[in-house]
Amino acid sequence: MKVAVVGLGAVGGLIAARMADAGHEVSALARGETLARVRERGLVVDSAGRRTATRFAASDDASTLGTQALVVIALKAPALATVAPQLAPLLDDATIVLPAMNGVPWWFMPATRPDEPPLASVDPGGRLLAFLPLERVLGCVVHLASSCPEPGVVRHGFGERLIVGEPAGGASARVDAVCAALASAGFEAEASTDLRRELWYKLWGNMTMNPVSALTGAESNPILDDPLVHAFMMRTMAEAAAIGARIGCPIAQSGEERMGLARKLGSFRTSMLQDTLAGRPIELDALVTAVHEIGKRVAVETPNIDALLGLTRLMAQQRGLYPGSAA
């Protein structure tokens, strides 16, 4: 399969290297030091005690890469608005766009409620939907841990699972084709007929632990160990579960059960904590602001989500990590 990966960070780099090693025709859109390093020595992956370097075409200009069968978007959410207009040279009528990103994507509400406007928190004015229309998109939920200790280097921690599905649900030949390509690269690729529900389930866990860790500077275990913080997270998750029930994404687990799974992973730094410590913009809108906005639309009261959003937003604004205005 002819594949372009947009963004060679922790997830995009792993996908690009694995798919190139599996024999797919891979290219990548990258920039700055990452692009320079990949051109010089290939994309370096540390995984299971092995260090390998994989070479593939990389550019900061999409027009040099040509049209693709599959475009994997593996950016941090704040970067997508800037990059999306640059992706047109990669797309033709048959190109599949697969965002492998955190949080609520631009297609989430239009997929099942086409008469509603896009979420202002993740797609103000519907600009992303115009550049990356729903008919091109497949949803993807990433369940793996990977990091990017330096430009052009990816360290794979644990997990191989990538869940792929049609935004509006159901089965399709293109979902099967993408899953087969990902499976050939060693991923546990799973086709879902209810991708929105899978996405909301992951978000339900991430939307509390991530911002709490960014606020406190704490890894996961100290957060879980503090009884007051733990109780606050349970109330926040209950509100998000109530929203999910209103939008067709019910949660079967309890918050305690979900945090028990997090405990089994051992103490770790969330992606938002890593971004905060590195001085990078945080994915607050995709993880929390969007949930706050959806709650308003479906008339679910969210006092704990609101508090979490307000505190995290203020912290990030003070550090220059969140330039947006108040919701």
pLDDT band at residue 327 under the 50/70/90 scheme: very low
Say if residues 265 and 219 touch (Cβ distance below 8 Å).
no
Residues 6+ apart with CB under 8 A from 122: 77, 103, 104, 105, 106, 108, 128, 285, 286, 289, 290
Asked whether the CA dihedral 180, 102, 7, 120 is positive or negative, the reply is positive
Say which residue the tokens 């546990």 belong to. Answer: 188
DSSP string of 91-134, one letter each residue:
--TT-EEEE--SS--TTTTTTT-TTSPPPTTTSGGGHHHHHS-G
- Domains plus CATH for the chain? 2-193 (3.40.50.720), 197-318 (1.10.1040.10)
Q: Which residue has the tokens 């770790």?
A: 268
Predicted pLDDT at 263: 86
pLDDT band at 114 (very low <50, low <70, confident <90, very high): confident
Residues with catalytic roles: 202
Which stretch of 180-194, 195-209, 312-326 has the lowest confidence by average pLDDT? 312-326
CB 131 within 8 A of CB 295: no
Angle, alpha carbons 288-187-84 (nearest 5°): 45
Q: In what order do the strands lie in the sheet with 57-59?
A: 57-59, 25-29, 2-6, 70-73, 96-99
What pLDDT shows up at residue 38? Answer: 97
State pLDDT tens for residues 58-97: 999 999 999 999 999 999 999 999 999 999 999 999 999 9
Residue 107: pLDDT band with limits 50, 70, 90: very high
> Which range has the worst mean pLDDT, 84-93, 251-260, 299-308?
251-260
Backbone angles phi, psi at 25, to 5 degrees: -85, 95
Distance CA 13, CA 35 (A): 11
Predicted model pTM: 0.93
